[in-house]
Amino acid sequence: MSRRALLTVLLLCSVSLIAQNRPAPTKTEVAPGIVMFATPSYGDVGLDGNSIAVVTRDGVLVFDTNGTPAAAAAVLAEIRTLTNQPVRWIVNSHWHWDHWYGTETYQRAFPDVRIVAHEKTRALMMGPALEFNRPGLETMLPAYLKSLEQRAATNAALKATLDEDRFFLDQKTHVRHTFPDVTFNDRLGIDLGERHVEVLNYGRAVTPGDAFVYLPKEKVLLIGDLIVNPVTFALSGYPTEWLHALERIDALDVDTIVTGHGPPLHDKQLLRATIDVFRVLLRDGKAAKEKGLTADQAKDAIFPGLHDLMVSITGDVPAVNGAFKQQLVDWYLHRVYDELDGPLSDAIAAIPPQ
Ligand SMILES: [Zn+2]
């Protein structure tokens, strides 16, 4: 066996060894040859974004690469059961770790893979995003693990969670951050095999440089975290531009929307309900600020009026209602207030205090 062949075998072994550390992801074929992978959470400390493989006769495009190399390896093991074609393109939707920390797995397996992100996302990944994650990795998560270790010492039921949490911290600490080598501003067309893929940005939305993928022939939209099923995560977003981006997306001819988290959607109901929530929060948030209310007072004043819209999104499940109130209403309203105070920068905003 040549040295190169031996190296390839060793590499594949190491990928499948890593994959064995994670349960197989669930897979959903959202259109012929377009498969969404969802991975289980890491104990009680982390969640991956969805990862989507677009298979063609000349290679595979992967949209988002999970939050750890091990999760990406588990997804890659599934992709290998679908096709012998190499992964030629990766698109990372935005800078949040749960959508790109697994990229190294693909680059090791396919050294020629091209990695695409918006130009602002690449800039954030290369510095500010890593700084944003640092306190969690170096201080908060280790402290949490210590407290969990103490509780697990007298409660065996916590042992499995503790192992998962340790694994997560180990993965994130040792990840080799793998940055995009192809950037775009508002549009990048990729022709791969029989498919045409549009990588698009419609302005600042959940982050300064969101990338989403539109397959016009297949009428499939891979939307990243521009909306999340069921509740959109509105931390550090750009309220007015985000609404405009969703309005433009609503005009696209689409049968299936794959969100950054949660099951795929086969209509625009959640997209439109989220748009309606944004409109109410922008309008009523502005009025509340003019009346002199703080953002938190505005939330309490506006929230009851959102009840019917909330139920249409959450199905009135209490825990999901709670997420709706905090992650969508509270965080979006704080950014509405920030925006009214002056133009928002591309810097990552702090999490509002609870
Ligand atoms: Zn996410």
Q: What is the mean pLDDT of the chain?
A: 94
Q: Where are the alpha helices (DSSP H) in 21-127?
A: 69-82, 103-109, 119-125
**Distance in Å, CA 259 to ligand 1 centroid:** 9
**Average pLDDT value for residue range 209-221:** 98
Choose among 90, 108, 109: nearest CA to 100. 90
pLDDT at 351: 79
Q: What is the pTM of this model?
A: 0.93
| Peptide bond connecting 230 to the previous residue in cis, omega within 30 degrees of 0 | yes
**Distance in Å, CA 353 to ligand 1 centroid:** 20
Confidence check: pLDDT of 4 > 60: no
Query: Which token pair is 228?
Result: 């999340």
- Rounded Cα–Cα distance for residues 4 and 300 (Å): 63
**Distance in Å, CA 98 to ligand 1 centroid:** 6
* pLDDT-derived band at 22, boundaries 50, 70, 90: confident
**Distance in Å, CA 31 to ligand 1 centroid:** 22
Question: Helices 269-290 and 295-302, interaxial angle, to 10°?
Answer: 120
**Distance in Å, CA 234 to ligand 1 centroid:** 11
Confidence check: pLDDT of 19 > 60: no
Query: What does the pLDDT look like over 238-255, one tens digit per residue?
Result: 999 999 999 999 999 999
Question: Helices 239-250 and 269-290, interaxial angle, to 10°?
Answer: 150
* Strand 59-63 relative to strand 51-56, pairing: antiparallel
* pLDDT-derived band at 8, boundaries 50, 70, 90: very low
Confidence check: pLDDT of 260 > 50: yes
**Distance in Å, CA 77 to ligand 1 centroid:** 22
Tell me what percent of the residues of the chain surpass a pLDDT of 90.
92
At residue 183, φ and ψ (nearest 5 deg) are -120, 160
Confidence check: pLDDT of 110 > 90: yes
The size of the chain, in residues, is: 354
**Distance in Å, CA 37 to ligand 1 centroid:** 14
Query: What does the pLDDT look like over 174-200, one tens digit per residue?
Result: 999 999 999 999 999 999 999 999 999
Query: What does the pLDDT look like over 41-99, one tens digit per residue?
Result: 999 999 999 999 999 999 999 999 999 999 999 999 999 999 999 999 999 999 999 99
With tokens 């999104």, the residue in question is: 313
At residue 193, φ and ψ (nearest 5 deg) are 55, -130
**Distance in Å, CA 269 to ligand 1 centroid:** 20
Distances (CA, A) of 58 to 8, 36, 170, 190, 344: 21, 19, 35, 12, 42
Choose among 238, 200, 233: nearest CA to 216. 200
The SS3 of residue 183 is: strand
